[in-house]
Chain A
Amino acid sequence: MELQLGLRSLPTYNFIENFDLNNDGFEPKDQMLGSKPWISCEDGNNMDNKRSSEVAFGKNTRYASRELPLLLWSGQPNDEDDWNGEKKISCSINKNGEEENRVEGWPPINSWRRKVLHHDQDQARNVMNSSRMAAAGNYENGDGSNSKYVKVKMEGVAITRKIDLRLYNSYQTLTKSLTSMFAKCQNLGNDAARYSLTYQDKDGDWLVAGDVPWQSFMESVQRLKIVRNAG
């Protein structure tokens, strides 16, 4: 599909110092921008066009004698393009200093949600986790954080996932969830047996999951990896 349009040029605004005070009208030297270069709104219901054009033409005598017409047409192509094709990259560090090179206000996510919900989710986990841990008789003093997100990489799958380990209370629930999470992309079906869950602990070693009690596992796990069994 090809859209045939030509880019037209825009006359440059001249902030000239001296001008003819008697020249309270203006003559469009260039018709390229349409028959009504001044009043660009085509909405017939707008009754303000007439008045605004009067103001723009300088008929409003409230202002000081030295009036600049709002636009002086030089009739020349826009050769004073400030940009010359340069692209300005606005990069600023987030107010919270969260991340370097993060552009302020981008992507356009509602900031309320970022602030409040993140805090609330931590609180909610607090509420939920403490009641759950207490009920299970395993009240953990906690290390201060209320969620434990770890990356999960599966061999052969491009995307690395992230899960919150605090949502699980046993190896069984964890592996069940991981199976369903990865099953779709690998068409695992019942082939879960061909894979093993390994994890990297605090010392950086990779171990097979399941050998230590769940609580110890929770305390030391840094990330997870699902590997194919050899043979």
Chain B
Amino acid sequence: MLRKASSFPEEMLEHVLSFITSDKDRNAVSLVCKSWYEIERWCRKRIFVGNCYAVRPEMVIRRFPELRSVELKGKPHFADFDLVPDGWGGCVYPWIAALATAYPLLEEIKLKRMVVSDESLEVIAKSFKNFKVLVLSSCEGFSTDGLAAVAANCRNLRGLDLRESEVDDPSGQWLSRFPDSFTSLASLNISCLGAEVSFSALERLVGRCPDLKSLRLNHAVPLDKLANLLRGAPQLVELGTGAYSAELQPDVFSNLAGAFSGCKELRSLSGFWNVFPGYLPAVYPVCSGLTSLNLRDANIQGADLIKLVSQCRSLQRLWVLDYIEDIGLEELAACCKDLTELRVFPSDPYGAEPNVSLTERGLVSVSEGCPKLQSVLYFCRQMTNAALVTIAKNSPRMTCFRLCIIEPRAPDYQTLQPLDLGFGAIVENYKDLRRLSLSGLLTDRVFEYIGTYAKKLEMLSVAFAGDSDMGLHHVLSGCAKLCKLEIRDCPFGDNALLANAAKLETMRSLWMSSCSVSFRACKLLGQKMPRLNVEVIDERGPPDLRPENCPVEKLYIYRTIAGPRFDMPGFVWTMNGDSV
């Protein structure tokens, strides 16, 4: 390797680089010069691939020979809402097979929205002797057989996190496959599992792992067994309960309350399926120390809910159902001054009438009372421009703002105007805004505001908004840092897309469904932009059987150096190259 007289010794640069862990910084280092590129690539330990189809595994392996941690994402975000048909893709097996050969010392695999087969899990279990952490977030395609293979073979496993994944459950016995000599577990999240796990195996496992800090159970773990588990792991920092319901019996209650009191390190609580309110006071001893409370699945209402939340004065993160109502959010604003993240989910999203009294006023209260608020996800049924303007002025630290007004195209309910001004204030005031989701009645004007002010915006979600291509054009031409754009049911068509074709290569991906982009424009884009994969998803059949100006159902465009993918199902057509 050519070395200039004035350059650092390699070893020194490597040592300095070992302190640089952020992907962005690492990428910047690698662009300085060829020798830095070389040194950097040999000592990079972690890689994050935001779109598994953007690069082939061989390319990653060729560039980074010493990885210890690989993180991949598969399906587009809108797959969470059933907008991506089954069988679309995102199978991880080719990656696992390649990683198994290339990195025998691999320690971590983190996957999101990918299809993971039992076979993949078996390969992971048997290929990496020092495997430590497996995270499967919103994944599917595997069963507890695959998990059994991991349990049986990964002697040094520290973390197994199945958050939100769909797991087939032929047997609940997989937990027993952890050998008795296995004691390294620090984190276990099985909250998504549908069926019972062997409780005795669970209890023994928890009891023999002294480093266990995070334990999230599934609903099938009954409340009367929780106390025993807690006594076996008083060092827990994060706990997800199982079902929180039982006949109210004084000895069960006091046992539980005593067990909770013993968990002095507990900072995060979740779970709470099927809450029987009489048992809530058992957690009161830990409330004052909690920084994170996730009641997203808890059917607690009214005074019980407010009482619980108001005791958690150190709360930084709260996820809750709209049972909390405006009145509960006022209380929250008064009690929890350190709040940085709030998510309010709908308890009855498909009901025609509101079932709770949760309005824009709740969010206004929180913005007024909690100056550190950074991240909001709020489902509600009414909003005003005035409220949004107030919220915009109150929370300068906001980085993620997602508002979902349940009725599509709902206007300001007081003035009947579009919510353009309100969201305009949001983007103008939130200088560090990185993520935004819009809803309600919106014209092209809101996109003009976004293009003008949202200079740090990385992800934008749009539904039922805009009047014309100008809306899309404002966003694509104005938002310098835009990385992911997902759009549904908007009147955006060919013009804006083609005028901003080059922009698409600077983004990770663009999703458009139920819009007005014609097949002809898709073909053109695919032909002209070889480093974009332009994929048409259309379950009506081949798009070339319809007139060229017919809009496609769904369009997914992403930048890639891997070329068109090979694993497309019958309803996905690539617009690249000769196949069109």
Interface residues of A (CB under 8 A from B): 1, 3, 5, 7-13, 15, 33-34, 37-43, 45-49, 52-53, 55-56, 60, 63, 68, 70-71, 78, 81-83, 85-90, 95, 98-99, 102-113, 115-117, 119-121, 123-125, 127-128, 132, 135-136, 158-162, 164, 167, 169, 177, 180-185
Contact = CB atoms under 8 A, between A and B. Distances in A.
A174 to B, nearest CB: 12
Interface string B496-532: 1011111101100000001010001100110111110
A180 B448 contact: no
B492 to A, nearest CB: 9
Contacts, number: 230
A106 B408 contact: yes
Indicate the size class of the contact surface on chain B: 35 or more
A189 B505 CA distance: 63
B449 A3 contact: yes
B524 A68 contact: yes
A153 to B, nearest CB: 11
B389 interface: yes
B138 A184 contact: no
B87 to A, nearest CB: 14
B406 A41 contact: no
B470 A119 contact: no
A11, A48, A98: residue with the most chain B Cβ atoms closer than 10 Å: A48
Contacts of B437: 108
B70 interface: no
A108 B303 contact: no
B198 interface: no
B243 interface: yes
B243 A37 contact: no
Given A70-B498, A117-B297, A120-B219, A7 B470 contact: yes
B389 A1 contact: yes
Contacts of B424: 3
A189 B33 CA distance: 74
Nearest to A178: B302
Contact of A1 (B425, B498, B524, B529): B425
Given A88-B516, A180-B303, 10 more contacts: A5-B448, A7-B470, A40-B503, A52-B531, A56-B502, A83-B493, A83-B516, A111-B81, A123-B194, A184-B303
Contacts of A181: 301-303
Contact of B514 (A43, A88, A108, A169): A88
B489 A10 contact: no
Given A10-B499, A160-B353, A180 B304 contact: yes
B470 A9 contact: yes
